[in-house]
C-alpha cells in the first residue's frame, strides 16, 4: 500500500461517505411541509391533512378547524411579481394555533374543491 492510497482510505472515502449520507438526509427533509390532500369529517369540525413523510410515504394529521388561522403573507422581496405568496396561484399558509404547526396549501383553483375552498378560508 502506498502513501496516496492510504490517504485516500483514511480521509477521502469517509468524508465522501459522510457527504452522501448528509445529502440523503437533506433530501428526505426537503419540502415536507406541503399538504398533499385534505379531508373534512362529517361535522366539518376536524380536518384530516395528508403530508409527505420520508420520500415515498404520506402520514395523516388531524387538526381542529377552529384552531386554524390563515397567515398574512409576508413580503419576500421588494418586487411583488417575484413573490409566490401574493399571487392567486401561489402558496396559502395556514397556522394551527393548538399544535404550533404551519400547513402550506397550493392556492391555485385546480387543487381545490371550489365549494369547500370558500368555506375553509372563511
pTM of the model: 0.61
φ, ψ of residue 66 in degrees (nearest 5): -75, -5
pLDDT digits (tens, 9 = 90+) for 99-120: 888 888 877 777 777 777 777 7
Count the alpha carbons within 13 Å of 85 in the hemisphere toward its beta carbon: 13
Each residue's pLDDT tens digit, 66-75: 888 877 766 5
Q: E-assigned strands of 10-83?
A: 37-40, 46-53, 57-64, 68-70
Q: What is the pLDDT of residues 44-97, one digit of tens each?
A: 889 898 888 766 788 899 989 888 887 776 655 555 555 555 566 677 788 888
- Cell 392556492, located at residue: 107
Amino acid at each position: 500500500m502506498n502513501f496516496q492510497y492510504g490517504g485516500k482510505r483514511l480521509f477521502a472515502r469517509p468524508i465522501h461517505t459522510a457527504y452522501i449520507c448528509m445529502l440523503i438526509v437533506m433530501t428526505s427533509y426537503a419540502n415536507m411541509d406541503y399538504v398533499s390532500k385534505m379531508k373534512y369529517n362529517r361535522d366539518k369540525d376536524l380536518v384530516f391533512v395528508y403530508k409527505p413523510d420520508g420520500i415515498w410515504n404520506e402520514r395523516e394529521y388531524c387538526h381542529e378547524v377552529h384552531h386554524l388561522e390563515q397567515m398574512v403573507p409576508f413580503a419576500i422581496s421588494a418586487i411583488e411579481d417575484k413573490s409566490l405568496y401574493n399571487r392567486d396561484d401561489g402558496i396559502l399558509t395556514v397556522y394551527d394555533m393548538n399544535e404550533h404547526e404551519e400547513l402550506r396549501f397550493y392556492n391555485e383553483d385546480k387543487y381545490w374543491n371550489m365549494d369547500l375552498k370558500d368555506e375553509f378560508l372563511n
